[in-house]
Copies of this chain bind each other. A is one copy, B any other.
């Protein structure tokens, strides 16, 4: 369900697109909250076309390129989902899982793992900051602006993760230093 909604949202925000374009947009925006490969996106688009959430039209380019456009029914689906009262929130955070397990390594090795995570987060933070400038440059100030809140969330999440990795690494390094090597 969530993938379907995420795709509809992307179509609603940025307008009609081909499956390929959609996959790239996905990578460049929703990516830090939801991920999907093209092999999952294509069948989902076909399914949505059948149920009337999107319309398809054939276009040139590549091997039979298709453009998908969201319908009113599709928009209605988004509204229903967003304002829905389902209390369950699915969560998956592989970086966080590492944090759970890192204490099982000796402090010095654990610290190295966390420094690597920190570097990874720094890199994606730079990517997001670049994206933000890019979006700001193309947006009229004061307008609703696509994915503004989501981008903000992405920045906050990445900064938090980076900071956590750095603090954890520091703590582990301190421990490794004061350790009585057995």
Q: Which residues of A contact B (CB under 8 A)?
A: 2, 5-6, 9, 12-13, 29-35, 75, 78-79, 81-83, 87-105, 109, 113, 120, 144-150, 152-153, 156-157, 160, 163-164, 167-168, 171, 175
Given the complex of chains A and B, what is the CA–CA distance between A30 and B96 in angstroms? 9
Copies of chain A in the complex: 2
Whether A35 contacts B91 by the Cβ 8 Å rule is yes
Q: Are A101 and B82 in contact (CB under 8 A)?
A: yes
The closest CB in chain B to the CB of A152 belongs to B164
Known: A96-B33, A156-B160. A101 touches B89 (CB 8 A): no
Chain B nearest Cβ from A62, distance in angstroms: 27
Inter-subunit contact A148/B103 (CB<8 Å): yes
What are the residues of chain B within 8 A of A150 when measuring CB–CB?
Answer: 96, 99-100
Q: What are 29 A-B pairs with beta-carbon distances under 8 A? A: A2-B94, A6-B100, A12-B104, A13-B103, A13-B104, A29-B100, A30-B97, A30-B100, A35-B91, A75-B104, A78-B101, A78-B104, A79-B104, A79-B105, A82-B98, A82-B101, A82-B113, A87-B120, A89-B93, A90-B94, A91-B93, A93-B93, A99-B149, A103-B144, A103-B148, A149-B164, A149-B168, A156-B160, A156-B164
